[in-house]
């Protein structure tokens, strides 16, 4: 049984505010905590019957997990420039996908810790076929196109409640309580890791009974960006249609093509924030 883990950092146990995730002395502590939460999920997965686990590091520059401390049974996709973004390495051979350390969507709950959708610098709202999504729903739809079901999430309580609106039966480890976007009531990571391990194990045990998340084709993405310059530059891609000063729409026949195009547009929008060739604006 093969399990894929998409690992992010905002929902890692012990994380409460953004500065802990930037490249500074604090960050070194938190990337270790990220590695340990991921290890707890790996351990639970193997206990539950997994025979292979692949982890994709999906936060920031996508190379946060300390490979030298990773559970030796797993493999790690690390580094950026990935056409499949947070899902690089996923295919139809997997039996379940877990979301470890993930977070609420942009403009979701006011208590969700470090909430955003994929790129806080540019994405205001993301909709797929009319439904507002966060990263978990968006990635679960991509996994669904490979018939891989979403089986487990870990993060703050507001994030878990948000995910359960779409996946009511998903196994979850609530590793902190959101207080504000940049504050949380924490439990010691050692205790959080026990929750992750137990619930990840339970998730893998019932993975074969969980249905993949299937989104009907064609797939239409509506993206509202934070600035008009971000939206306009994405119209360099021919199928992108402007729907408002800051919003765009495109449609693809299949989910993975749409997912990759979305990621490409987000990359364009990020680079357009202050001028694609590096001008510095106010």
Q: Are 271 and 227 in contact (CB under 8 A)?
A: no
Question: Shortest gap between Cβ of 278 and Zn ion (angstroms)?
Answer: 25
Nearer to Zn ion, 117 or 145 (CB): 117
Of 59, 103, 116, 147, which residue is the catalytic one? Answer: 116
Distance CA 239, CA 251 (A): 8
For Zn ion, which residue has the nearest CB? 59
Dump strand ranges (E) for 103-163: 123-128, 131-132, 150-156
Nearer to Zn ion, 77 or 210 (CB): 77
Nearer to Zn ion, 125 or 201 (CB): 125
Contacts of 55 (CB under 8 A, 6+ apart): 4, 5, 7, 38, 42, 65, 70, 74, 75, 76, 77
> HSE of 13 in the Cβ direction (CA atoms, 13 Å)?
24
Question: Shortest gap between Cβ of 99 and Zn ion (angstroms)?
Answer: 11
What radius of gyration do the chain's Cα atoms show? 18
Question: Shortest gap between Cβ of 89 and Zn ion (angstroms)?
Answer: 17
Nearer to Zn ion, 102 or 193 (CB): 102
Which residues, in sequence order, are bridge partners of residue 97?
4, 150
* Bridge-based pairing state of the strands 219-225 and 171-180: unpaired
Question: Shortest gap between Cβ of 217 and Zn ion (angstroms)?
Answer: 28
Nearer to Zn ion, 12 or 50 (CB): 12
Distance CA 74, CA 81 (A): 22
CA trace torsion 42, 257, 262, 15 (10° rounding) = 0
Question: Shortest gap between Cβ of 147 and Zn ion (angstroms)?
Answer: 26
Give catalytic status of residue 116 as yes or no.
yes
Q: Which residues bind Zn ion (CB under 5 A)?
A: 8-9, 59
Closest C-alpha to 56, from 100, 31, 88, 103: 88
Catalytic residue positions? 116
């Amino acid at each position: 049984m093969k399990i894929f883990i998409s690992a992010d950092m905002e929902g890692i146990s012990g994380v409460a505010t953004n500065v802990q995730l930037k490249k500074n002395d604090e960050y070194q502590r938190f990337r270790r905590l990220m590695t340990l939460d991921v290890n707890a999920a790996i351990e639970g997965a193997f206990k539950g019957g997994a025979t292979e686990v692949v982890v994709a590091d999906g936060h920031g520059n996508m190379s946060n997990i300390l490979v030298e401390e990773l559970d030796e049974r797993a493999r790690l996709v690390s580094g950026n420039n990935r056409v499949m973004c947070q899902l690089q390495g996923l295919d139809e051979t997997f039996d379940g996908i877990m979301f470890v350390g993930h977070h609420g969507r942009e403009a979701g709950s006011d208590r969700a810790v470090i909430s955003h959708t994929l790129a806080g610098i540019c994405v205001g709202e993301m909709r797929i076929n009319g439904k507002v999504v966060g990263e978990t729903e968006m990635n679960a739809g991509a996994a669904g196109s490979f018939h891989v079901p979403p089986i487990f999430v870990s993060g703050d309580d507001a994030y878990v409640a948000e995910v359960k609106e779409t996946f009511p039966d998903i196994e979850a480890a609530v590793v902190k309580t959101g207080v504000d976007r940049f504050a949380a009531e924490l439990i010691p990571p050692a205790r959080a890791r026990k929750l992750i391990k137990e619930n990840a194990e339970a998730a893998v045990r019932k993975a074969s009974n969980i249905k993949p998340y299937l989104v009907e084709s064609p797939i239409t993405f509506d993206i509202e960006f934070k600035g008009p310059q971000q939206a306009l530059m994405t119209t360099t891609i021919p199928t992108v249609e402007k729907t408002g000063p800051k919003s765009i729409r495109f449609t693809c026949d299949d989910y993975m093509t749409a997912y990759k195009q979305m990621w490409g547009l987000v990359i364009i929008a990020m680079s357009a924030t202050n001028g694609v060739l590096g001008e510095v604006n106010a």
